[in-house]
Amino acid sequence: MANQHGYYIEDLSIGMTSSYEKTVTAKDIEAFAAVTGDTNPVHLDAEYAATTPFKARIAHGMISAGIISTVLGTQLPGPGCIYLDQQIKFRAAVFIDDTVVATVTVEDINQRRGRVSLKTQCFVNGKLVADGMASMMVDKKG
Protein backbone atom coordinates (compact mmCIF):
# COMPACT_ATOMS: atom_id res chain seq x y z
CA MET A 1 0.00 0.00 0.00
CA ALA A 2 1.31 3.44 -0.90
CA ASN A 3 2.11 5.83 1.92
CA GLN A 4 -0.95 8.06 2.00
CA HIS A 5 -0.93 11.05 4.28
CA GLY A 6 -2.81 14.31 4.26
CA TYR A 7 -1.45 17.62 5.41
CA TYR A 8 0.99 17.80 8.30
CA ILE A 9 0.29 20.59 10.76
CA GLU A 10 3.30 22.57 9.52
CA ASP A 11 1.75 22.62 6.01
CA LEU A 12 -1.57 24.12 7.11
CA SER A 13 -2.43 27.81 7.19
CA ILE A 14 -5.39 29.85 8.38
CA GLY A 15 -7.97 30.22 5.61
CA MET A 16 -7.19 26.99 3.74
CA THR A 17 -10.45 25.48 2.50
CA SER A 18 -11.74 22.35 0.82
CA SER A 19 -15.17 21.06 -0.26
CA TYR A 20 -16.97 17.89 -1.24
CA GLU A 21 -20.43 17.49 -2.71
CA LYS A 22 -22.88 14.60 -2.55
CA THR A 23 -26.41 14.23 -3.82
CA VAL A 24 -28.42 12.55 -1.05
CA THR A 25 -30.68 9.82 -2.42
CA ALA A 26 -33.55 7.87 -0.86
CA LYS A 27 -31.24 4.83 -0.86
CA ASP A 28 -28.64 6.82 1.13
CA ILE A 29 -31.27 7.69 3.75
CA GLU A 30 -32.50 4.11 3.95
CA ALA A 31 -28.92 2.77 4.26
CA PHE A 32 -28.15 5.29 7.01
CA ALA A 33 -31.27 4.20 8.90
CA ALA A 34 -30.25 0.55 8.52
CA VAL A 35 -26.69 1.19 9.76
CA THR A 36 -27.62 3.44 12.69
CA GLY A 37 -31.06 2.15 13.67
CA ASP A 38 -32.52 5.68 13.38
CA THR A 39 -35.86 4.79 11.79
CA ASN A 40 -37.66 8.03 12.60
CA PRO A 41 -40.55 8.04 10.11
CA VAL A 42 -39.80 11.62 9.03
CA HIS A 43 -36.84 10.05 7.18
CA LEU A 44 -38.46 6.86 5.89
CA ASP A 45 -42.24 7.21 5.57
CA ALA A 46 -43.52 9.63 2.92
CA GLU A 47 -47.10 9.59 4.28
CA TYR A 48 -45.93 10.42 7.78
CA ALA A 49 -43.47 13.04 6.55
CA ALA A 50 -46.26 14.76 4.61
CA THR A 51 -47.94 15.55 7.97
CA THR A 52 -44.83 17.32 9.31
CA PRO A 53 -43.76 20.93 8.74
CA PHE A 54 -41.32 19.61 6.10
CA LYS A 55 -44.16 18.08 3.98
CA ALA A 56 -41.74 15.43 2.63
CA ARG A 57 -39.11 12.96 3.77
CA ILE A 58 -35.89 14.57 4.97
CA ALA A 59 -32.36 13.26 5.36
CA HIS A 60 -30.94 12.54 8.78
CA GLY A 61 -28.92 15.53 9.95
CA MET A 62 -25.98 13.26 10.60
CA ILE A 63 -25.73 12.53 6.87
CA SER A 64 -24.64 16.16 6.45
CA ALA A 65 -22.22 15.67 9.35
CA GLY A 66 -20.89 12.58 7.58
CA ILE A 67 -20.26 14.58 4.42
CA ILE A 68 -18.25 17.03 6.53
CA SER A 69 -16.30 14.04 7.85
CA THR A 70 -15.48 13.11 4.25
CA VAL A 71 -13.79 16.46 3.68
CA LEU A 72 -11.88 16.30 6.97
CA GLY A 73 -10.74 12.71 6.60
CA THR A 74 -9.89 12.68 2.91
CA GLN A 75 -8.93 16.24 1.95
CA LEU A 76 -8.29 18.80 4.70
CA PRO A 77 -6.45 17.91 6.89
CA GLY A 78 -6.87 14.52 5.20
CA PRO A 79 -5.58 11.00 5.85
CA GLY A 80 -3.74 10.60 9.15
CA CYS A 81 -5.80 13.17 11.05
CA ILE A 82 -8.04 12.24 13.97
CA TYR A 83 -11.51 13.77 14.46
CA LEU A 84 -11.71 14.99 18.08
CA ASP A 85 -14.79 17.16 18.30
CA GLN A 86 -17.69 18.52 16.26
CA GLN A 87 -20.25 21.15 17.13
CA ILE A 88 -23.01 21.50 14.58
CA LYS A 89 -26.25 23.42 14.22
CA PHE A 90 -28.74 22.19 11.65
CA ARG A 91 -30.21 25.28 10.03
CA ALA A 92 -32.49 23.74 7.38
CA ALA A 93 -33.68 20.35 6.19
CA VAL A 94 -31.99 18.34 3.45
CA PHE A 95 -34.47 16.61 1.16
CA ILE A 96 -34.13 13.58 -1.12
CA ASP A 97 -32.06 14.44 -4.22
CA ASP A 98 -30.63 17.63 -2.69
CA THR A 99 -26.92 18.11 -3.40
CA VAL A 100 -25.07 18.92 -0.20
CA VAL A 101 -21.80 20.81 -0.50
CA ALA A 102 -19.68 20.47 2.64
CA THR A 103 -16.94 23.04 3.07
CA VAL A 104 -14.26 23.18 5.76
CA THR A 105 -11.98 26.12 6.47
CA VAL A 106 -8.94 26.21 8.76
CA GLU A 107 -9.69 28.71 11.54
CA ASP A 108 -6.96 28.05 14.13
CA ILE A 109 -3.73 26.05 14.35
CA ASN A 110 -2.05 25.03 17.60
CA GLN A 111 1.33 23.69 16.48
CA ARG A 112 2.48 22.81 20.00
CA ARG A 113 -0.54 20.58 20.72
CA GLY A 114 -0.97 19.32 17.17
CA ARG A 115 -4.56 20.60 17.01
CA VAL A 116 -6.47 22.36 14.26
CA SER A 117 -9.89 24.04 14.47
CA LEU A 118 -11.97 24.22 11.31
CA LYS A 119 -15.22 25.92 10.38
CA THR A 120 -17.58 23.27 8.98
CA GLN A 121 -20.55 24.19 6.80
CA CYS A 122 -23.01 22.46 4.49
CA PHE A 123 -24.96 24.19 1.75
CA VAL A 124 -27.81 23.18 -0.55
CA ASN A 125 -28.26 25.50 -3.54
CA GLY A 126 -26.20 28.13 -1.72
CA LYS A 127 -28.38 27.95 1.42
CA LEU A 128 -26.62 27.16 4.71
CA VAL A 129 -28.14 23.94 6.09
CA ALA A 130 -25.52 23.02 8.72
CA ASP A 131 -22.98 25.21 10.50
CA GLY A 132 -20.34 24.31 13.05
CA MET A 133 -16.76 23.81 14.14
CA ALA A 134 -14.51 20.75 14.28
CA SER A 135 -11.29 20.00 16.15
CA MET A 136 -8.72 17.68 14.64
CA MET A 137 -5.50 16.10 15.80
CA VAL A 138 -2.95 16.52 13.00
CA ASP A 139 0.49 14.90 12.79
CA LYS A 140 3.69 16.87 12.95
CA LYS A 141 6.46 16.15 10.44
CA GLY A 142 9.14 13.69 11.54
- Are the beta carbons of 109 and 14 closer than 8 angstroms? yes
- Are the beta carbons of 116 and 135 closer than 8 angstroms? yes
Beta strand pairing status for 82-90 and 127-137?
antiparallel
- Are the beta carbons of 24 and 98 closer than 8 angstroms? yes
What are the residues whose beta carbons fall under 8 Å from the beta carbon of 71, sequence distance 6 or more? 18, 19, 20, 102, 103, 104, 120
What is the reported pTM?
Answer: 0.93
pLDDT value, residue 142: 74
pLDDT band at residue 3 using 50, 70 and 90 as cut-offs = low
What pLDDT, in 10s, does the model give residues 48-81? 999 999 999 999 999 999 999 999 999 999 999 9
9-137: CATH architecture: Roll (3.10)
pLDDT band at residue 4 using 50, 70 and 90 as cut-offs = confident
Q: What are 21's strand-pairing partners?
A: 101
